[in-house]
Amino acid sequence: MTGCKVRYITAEGAISYDRSGPRIDQIISRYWRACGAYSLAPPKEQGLGAWRIGLESLRYKGQWERQHTIAGIHWFAGEVCLCRNLFPAAGAQCAVLGLIKKALFMRITVMGAGVTGITTAWYLTQSGHDVTVIDRQPGAGLETSFANGGQVSVSHAEPWANPSAPLKVLKWLGKEDSPLLFRIRPDLNQWLWGLSFLRECTAARTRNNIKQMVNLGMYSRSALQALRTDTGIAYNHTTKGILHFYTSDKEFEGAQAPAAIMREFGCELDMKSPAECVAIEPALASNLHRIVGGSMTPSDESGDAHLFTQQLARMCADKGAQFLYDTRIVGFNKSGDELQSLRLASADGVVTEHTADAYVMCMGSFSSHWNKLLGQTLRIYPAKGYSVTLPVINEEASYNVSLTDDEYKLVFSRLGDRLRIAGTAELNGYDTDLNLVRCEAIVKRVKDLFPGITDGVGARYWTGLRPTTPSNVPYIGRAKTRNVFLNTGHGTLGWTHSCGSAAALADIVNGKKPEVDFSFINA
Ligand SMILES: Cc1cc2nc3c(=O)[nH]c(=O)nc-3n(C[C@H](O)[C@H](O)[C@H](O)COP(=O)(O)OP(=O)(O)OC[C@H]3O[C@@H](n4cnc5c(N)ncnc54)[C@H](O)[C@@H]3O)c2cc1C
């Protein structure tokens, strides 16, 4: 959408027009937010006087706060006209605006406060909706979004399911240190997931899945960058690209075909010689003899997903979103094809009903628990992964560029004065116990690659459950239940895809076509 013409009236009464400003929907959303602070809060809390404050005293927060009091919004031929002159009496004005707001915007509940839920809450709040976020944890981003690999990795989008996967998975069966370990269980969901995974391994499906992930990834990275520019959000991010290095000729050879597909879909991905890899990340110097090549994706990024999620949750709260933490969703009340309410249990076990106009499912690996109630199958299975976070104790030995070690399938991100290393995948149900052998194996590999990087002191181990679909492509769109939306199943790339998925979902909720070519559900 193009920028719109906004009429500002400064405190001194001067009128100015600006066409370079934000989009009309962003302006309206900020307008309503600001408005809601005065006119829509319960009179009991705000006092009746608050109802009379009206638009005249509305001041925008942020960039316009110092100079402008907004009095009117005009969009080109004046499609949107909310001029104070229309409603001379402030009280009437607020009541009318309240009614308009009710008609245009919804009360939306986001289920889950991981990176997916919080980005969803952000874009919905920006669109003007009244948003409530519910999570069983005491804060945002405390489950899978807590200590992931940190990579915003658009151009390394090869799905786990690809033509070479079935043989590899068979070879790795029962091997404790394998990068992808299926622990076969008497669990129908696991078996059905496995069969769907096999179906996704054909060349044609792999190609289509890469296309979906690259398209969503590129859109998402732009959305993240725009959000960063607009809000100044800081989360120890680095924009030095991602270098994927190989120590096996066969694997490097095998990486050429998917790289060509990713390039065809628009990724910036350059093959590098061993010497070039070391030039990109000098901390790899002692590995020159074993690196056989690498692929560099200069426009990729990295950053702390947990810090980002927490900061953004705070910004959502500042914009009026409500948060119900320590609150577990224990049931749905459905009538026909509509979700009537959620049953919530507080930390002390008190069960209450919660209603909204619409609901968004962002419950990560736990989304599929609600299959039956949603009347549709979400083929999401948890893939347990590990991470180790180390303090930087030796700057010279530490890497600065985000890296991927192909042999051990480990990713490395620099998060300020910490080093994050993550990887391994185990399909073994919902268990999140830490297996110290696996953690120590990661530290051993890190020491091997970067001598002197750590003395092991201060290492923090973590494990999380990637909400994985067989295709690696998430579910974004409308559920079969009329007033439920889906934004879940982001698997290995939930951080990478979070902003784009949420921005697109907000468009779908608002009845707009998302700006990205992606296979949305029922949209
Ligand atoms: C080891 C590892 C490394 C990774 N590395 C990367 C990477 O480098 N780059 C990348 O893009 N992605 C990476 N990922 C993937 C990424 O972390 C996930 O895809 C992403 O965090 C998923 O976010 P989410 O919001 O969907 O799920 P979550 O963060 O798990 O959020 C779901 C929320 O739902 C809540 N919830 C669930 N059930 C209920 C209930 N009944 N009641 C109330 N609340 C409930 C949970 O408390 C949780 O907060 C990695 C994952 C792992 C495990």
Domain ranges of the chain: 6-104, 107-143+306-379+473-509, 155-302+380-468
Residue 72: predicted pLDDT = 32
Task: Give the Å distance between the CA of 146 and the centre of ligand 1.
Answer: 8
Query: By alpha-carbon position, which residue is closest to atom 37 of ligand 1?
Result: 363
pLDDT of residue 267: 93
Mutate to test the pocket of ligand 1, among 366, 373, 381, 475 (most ligand atoms within 8 A of CB): 366
Tokens at 67, concatenated: 């100079």
Q: Select from 332, 381, 322 the least CA-distant residue to 361.
A: 332
Residue 390 has pLDDT above 70, yes or no: yes
- How high is the pLDDT of residue 1? 35
Mutate to test the pocket of ligand 1, among 133, 363, 463 (most ligand atoms within 8 A of CB): 363
This prediction has a pTM of 0.84
> Which residue has a Cα nearest atom 1 of ligand 1?
385
Distance 38 CA to ligand 1 centre (A): 36
What pLDDT is attached to residue 39?
Answer: 33
Measured CA to CA, the distance from residue 234 to residue 210 in angstroms comes to 30
Query: In the CATH hierarchy, which fold is given to the domain comprising 155-302+380-468?
Result: D-Amino Acid Oxidase; Chain A, domain 2 (3.30.9)
Look at 173-187, 360-374, 447-461 and tell me which has the smallest mean pLDDT. Answer: 173-187
248 Cα to the center of ligand 1, angstroms: 31
Kindly report, residue by residue over 459-517, the tens digit of the pLDDT.
Answer: 999 999 999 999 999 999 999 999 999 999 999 999 999 999 999 999 999 999 999 99
DSSP state of 80: S
> Which atom of ligand 1 lies closest to the CA of 145?
21
Closest CA to ligand 1's atom 4: 148
Query: pLDDT digit string (tens) for 247-287?
Result: 999 999 999 998 999 999 999 999 999 999 999 999 999 99
- The number of CA neighbours under 13 Å toward the Cβ of 423 is 23
Give the pLDDT confidence of 96-149 residue by residue, as tens digits: 666 666 667 899 999 999 999 999 999 999 999 999 999 999 999 999 999 999
H-run or E-run covering 426:
strand 418-427
Q: Which protein residues are within 6 Å of ligand 1, measured from CB? A: 112-117, 134-137, 142-145, 148-151, 153, 328-329, 362-364, 366, 385-387, 411, 422, 464, 466-467, 488, 490-496
More confident residue, 82 or 27: 27
d(CA 373, CA 352): 18
SS3 sequence of 454-477: CCCCCCEEEEEEEEECCCCCCEEE
* Band (5; pLDDT cuts 50, 70, 90): very low
Which pLDDT belongs to residue 102? 63
Beta-carbon contacts of 430 under 8 Å, excluding residues fewer than 6 positions away, are: 365, 382, 465
Q: How many angstroms separate the alpha carbon of residue 139 from the centre of ligand 1? A: 13
pLDDT over threshold 90, residue 80: no
Query: 10 Å Cβ neighbour count for 176?
Result: 12
- Burial (CB count <10 Å: 0-12, 13-18, 19+), residue 47: exposed
Q: What percent of the chain has pLDDT over 90?
A: 71
Q: What does the block give as tokens for 201?
A: 């391994």
Q: Are 115 and 224 in contact (CB under 8 A)?
A: no
Average pLDDT over residues 218-240: 97
Residue 418 has pLDDT above 80, yes or no: yes
Residues 449 and 421: their CA atoms lie apart, in Å, by 12
pLDDT digits (tens, 9 = 90+) for 319-351: 999 999 999 999 999 999 999 999 999 999 999
CA-nearest residue, atom 35 of ligand 1: 112
Pairing of strands 410-415, 418-427: antiparallel
Using the predicted structure, report yes or no on whether residue 384 has a pLDDT greater than 80.
yes
Taking only the tens place, the pLDDT of each residue in 12-62 is 444 444 444 444 445 544 544 444 333 333 333 333 332 223 332 333 333
Query: Best mutation site among 361, 466, 488 for ligand 1, i.e. most ligand atoms within 8 A of its Cβ?
Result: 466
In CATH terms, the fold of domain 107-143+306-379+473-509 is FAD/NAD(P)-binding domain (3.50.50)
Domains 107-143+306-379+473-509 and 155-302+380-468 share a fold: no
